Amino acid sequence: MESESLNAPGSEAPAELTFYLPHRKAFNGAEVTSHTLHNLYTLRGAKVRDALRWSGYIDESIELFGEAEVYLASHHWPIWGNERILRFLEVQRDTYKYLHDQTVRLFNQGLTPGEIAETLEMPDSLQQDFHNRGYYGTVRHNARAIYQNYLGWYDGNPANLDPLPPVEAGRRYVALAGGGDALLETARAAFDDADYRWAAELLNHLVFAAPSNRAAKDLLAATYDQLGYQAESGPWRDVYLSAALELREGPPEVGLNVAMMEDVLRQTPVRRFFDSMAVRLDGPAADGVALSVKFVFTDLGESHLLRIANSVLHHRPSGPEAVSDATLSITHDMFISMLTGQAGLTDLLLSDQVELEGSKLDLLKFFSLLDRPEGRFNIVTP
């Protein structure tokens, strides 16, 4: 079956591919085009996507596959008819281009991310189509993403270069307001006036300054409820309502269960796990520590040498001649069990799938320096 592809890396994902079936006149736009405004920055956290490249790929697909009579994609519903497909693609293309160009125009005039988000609006011609509404991504946070992609987090105002952390700033704002009761009264008036953004800003300071203040947490939760109900974007609504839940009930009791990803982990190259270990190294605790551990995977035919020095963990493939303080010969299955928490250090040292050479104390020291994230933490409370 004949097909034509358009490689679109750096748009919705680092690796993205669209394709066209000429005999069916069917174009698959993958996740480059959707029936909603997409995220140039995801609120869950990810690298910023390039709006200009995104728009360019859509334009290229119009040039290459402009005779399409059927449009389909990884998400949402298909479109039939050449005229409707071209209209859809052109509006999507121009949306990302407009967001890009106007954000750059405004920051070249000196506007900061918050000011651009407050100022930028899509023109009427790009607001008439259902697929272009902000049910997912939004103009406001996408504009901030474009700013970040070019200029980073710093907006040029020195007051924002090294601000006080939330708890300390909260205490000082509460004192400036005349105390917690006075600030709460002002915030309640803002809430009653439906000035929810201002109420949230005030109450956020009070909650970080006095996390045991139940009245402040309840009013902030109610404020986030209202902001969530008003949000057109589904992710924005999720953010607000999740914050309200934490204020009322606290953070989740159970974090991410890594064991649920066991099948995925089995397909992940071993070197990626060592990348993960490197970012879990407790730098302050590793200050002054110099040691090395070699992992020999008996069923994979791979060896990797890990070294800690200058509070940094480096790793590289190694041969049998590589010298280390401790050498752990281990099966891939046991390694996965260790990573997912199904096997602890005692299991590791007693298992017939593991053989240790060298210093047991150095091996224990190595593992003691690695954080084990719980996958649960406060977000809107200190």
**Per-residue pLDDT tens digits for 238-265:** 999 999 999 999 998 877 776 677 778 8
Rg, the chain, Cα only? 26
Is residue 89 located within the same domain as residue 37?
A: yes
Number of Cα atoms under 13 Å in the Cβ half of residue 6:
25
Read off the pLDDT of residues 332-345 as tens digits, 9 standing for 90 and up. 888 888 877 777 77
Choosing from 226, 249, 272, the residue where a domain stops is 249
Centre a 10 Å sphere on the Cβ of residue 339 and count the other Cβ atoms it contains. 18
- The answer to whether residue 378 is domain-embedded is no
Q: Between residues 224 and 343, which one has the greater pLDDT?
A: 224
- The answer to whether residue 379 is domain-embedded is no
In the predicted model, what is the mean pLDDT of residues 103-114?
A: 97
Is residue 205 located within the same domain as residue 304?
A: no
B/e letters for 141-168, b = 16+ CB within 10 Å, e = fewer, are: bbbbbbbbbeeeeebeeeeeeeeeebee
- Angstrom CA distances, 223 to 26, 167, 218, stand at 47, 20, 9
Read off the pLDDT band of 267 (50, 70, 90).
confident
Read off the pLDDT of residues 1-52 as tens digits, 9 standing for 90 and up. 799 999 999 999 999 999 999 999 999 999 999 999 999 999 999 999 999 9
- The answer to whether residue 382 is domain-embedded is no
Handedness of CA 90, 93, 98, 99 (dihedral sign): positive
pLDDT at 280 over 80: yes
The total of structural domains in the chain comes to 3
Q: Which helix (H) or strand (E) holds 309?
A: strand 302-309
- The answer to whether residue 321 is domain-embedded is yes
* Distance between CA atoms of residues 115 and 237, nearest Å: 22
pLDDT at 78 over 70: yes
**Domain residue limits at 195:** 166-249
Query: What predicted TM-score, i.e. pTM, was given to this entire model?
Result: 0.90
CATH number for the domain spanning 175: value is: 1.25.40.880
pLDDT at 223 over 80: yes
Is residue 346 located within the same domain as residue 242?
A: no
| pLDDT for 213 | 98
In the predicted model, what is the mean pLDDT of residues 180-192?
A: 98
Is residue 98 located within the same domain as residue 15?
A: yes
Structure tokens at 286: 């590793």
